Every structure is written in C-alpha cells, then in structure tokens.
Amino acid sequence: MTDICCIGHITRDRIITQVPPVTTHCAGGSAYYMAWAIQALPHDVNFHLITSVSREVMPEVEKLRQAGVRVTAFESDTNVFFENKYGANMDNRTQRVLAKSAPFTLNELKDEQARVFHLGTLLADDFAPEIVEYLATKGDVSIDVQGYLREVVGEEVRACEWTDKLRLLKHTAILKVNEWECQTLTSITDPYEAAQQINDWGVREVIITLGGGGSVIYAEGQFYETPAYPPAKLVDATGCGDTYSAGYLYARARGMSYIESGQFAAAMCTLKLEHTGPFAHSIDDVHQIIKNNQ
C-alpha cells in the first residue's frame, strides 16, 4: 500500500530574486518539490508521484526515477510554465503563467490506492471536484490550497474564489494554507479563529504557515505552534510550502505527533530556504536544526 500519493504537475520555472539579483531556470511545482524532499529522507515511507508533463519536461521525470522515486507520468501537449518574481522580502511574490498543462482526469487516477492523497494544486482547474470526492472514498485527502485560489487571465495570475470549498473541504482530511490564503478562504483575519472555522467545515488537520512567524496546526480541538527556525542564509523561498507539506506528511506517516510533525516540517523549510532548488539534505540535518533551536 502506498503511504503518500502526491498528484500534481511538474512545471518549468523562471525564478527572479531581488536579493541577490539572480534569474534561475529550473523545474518546479508542488509535486516536484515534494517528490525530491521525500526522496532525500529515509525510504521508510512508500511514496508515489503521479504527474502530467510535456515531452520537454520528461527528462525531469527520468531524474526522479533514477533517484528511486516511483513516478507515473501522463503526457500533456503543453506544460505549466511559471515565472516567480520575489521582492526584498521573500514572503512577497508575483507570478505569471506562460503556459498550462491539461487537468488530471478521474480515469487517470481511479486505480490508485493510498493512505494519503496529496493534491499539489497549482491552478484552480487542476482537479475537478469529482476527483477529490472519489479519492476521499479511498484514503485521506491532503490539499495545499494555493492552486484553488488562483486563476490565469492572459498570463496574469489572479486571486479567485474557491467556489467549491464547502463541497470539498468536508472530504479533506488535511489542509495547508498560508496566512493570506487562510484569510481569503475564511474572511477571518485571526489565523486561530480561521483554523477553527476550517475545522468546522470538515477538515481534520488544519495547517497554517505564517512565514517568519512559524506555523500553527489545529487538530483534535487543540493548537500546536512551531516557530520558524532561522536559516543560515536566505536564498530562495520557492517550494518552501511544498517542502513543509512533504515534511509534515512524512512525519505523520512515521507516527509522529502533531507538534513533532510541525517541527520536522519547519526544519526542512529552514534548510530549503538556504538554496535554490528542491530540498537536498539528510534527516540528520533536519534533526540538528530542531536540536539547535530547542
């Protein structure tokens, strides 16, 4: 049985940072960052990546397979192409989408078996509502909400309403949001009140990342707070939220508590922030970050 099945597009990314002033071209996307993060950890959690890519990006799939990641890749005529531009504050990002991939279909996913299905959404139309409802009958659904709250108009990424949120959140076991997404989703400015509202809508574990303010998890009627561990240097925040999801789901699959899972995920984010590209450290490095900040 697969422990974690991550479903999402691998993208082409152009990353532009102001401090330092660098432009980098690389692969990306929620599924990509999660797969490499899980691969870097001990292979004691059964992981499966399901993606959809163009022939141009298929070499990235082969790299993952050569590294030992089990990947099912459907072919798409076009591929998601993101431009991420960061200001001096790495929490501030503007985006353009220069191309899109075909949405996933129920037929592509109907035979997959997993304990947790993590949907690495990039855009609002990646997954039809019927897919979420179907997967929830087979295992826990975990969602990074970012894609449901943005649509593409021309090349511009615009915020949008998640029109099916009440329909789908009751089928969602784990939801990760950042502070802006949390407020957009609930219209509540206080993250603690917002977490309770999301829980009332049916989500079992609500994870809110607060940038430099750390993160908070609401589950079983309690809040679990984790500070943000300071990185040795701040290089690139792209994929940081996906790295958090990877760390949290890996830790939960290993039987760690909510607070331990939050700390593990936060430490992985700290290490990810120190370089461009996906997480590429060891589990010992993660534990060392936690130990250094106790």
- Going from N- to C-terminal start, the domains of the chain cover 2-292
As a whole number, mean pLDDT of residues 251-277 equals 96
What long-range pairs does 177-183 form, CB within 8 A, spacing at least 24? 177/145, 177/206, 177/207, 177/208, 177/209, 178/146, 178/208, 178/209, 178/210, 178/211, 178/241, 179/208, 179/209, 179/210, 179/211, 179/213, 181/145, 181/146, 181/149, 182/208
Q: Give me the residue label for tokens 């790295």.
A: 243
What is d(CA 165, CA 163) in angstroms, rounded to the nearest whole number? 6
Q: How many CA atoms lie within 13 A of 126 on its CB side?
A: 33
- Checking if the pLDDT of 261 tops 80, the result is yes
Closest listed residue to residue 236, CA positions, set 260, 265, 207, 271 = 271
Please report, in angstroms and rounded to a whole number, the separation of the first and last CA atoms in the chain. Answer: 36
- According to CATH, the topology of domain 2-292 is UDP-N-acetylmuramoyl-L-alanine:D-glutamate ligase (3.40.1190)
Among residues of the chain, what percentage have pLDDT more than 90? 75
Q: What angle do CA 52, 53, 54 make, to 5 degrees?
A: 145
Query: Is omega for the bond preceding 20 within 30 degrees of 0, making it cis?
Result: yes
Q: Provide φ and ψ at 289, rounded to 5°.
A: -60, -45
pLDDT score, position 18: 82
pLDDT score, position 98: 84
Angle between helices 258-272 and 240-253 (to 10 degrees): 140
- Checking if the pLDDT of 159 tops 90, the result is no
As beta bridge partners, residue 176 has 144, 207
Residue with the larger pLDDT of the pair 65 and 98: 65
pLDDT band for position 89 (cuts 50, 70, 90) = confident
As a whole number, mean pLDDT of residues 53-62 equals 93
pLDDT band for position 204 (cuts 50, 70, 90) = very high
Find out whether 247 and 39 touch, Cβ atoms under 8 Å.
no
pLDDT score, position 290: 97
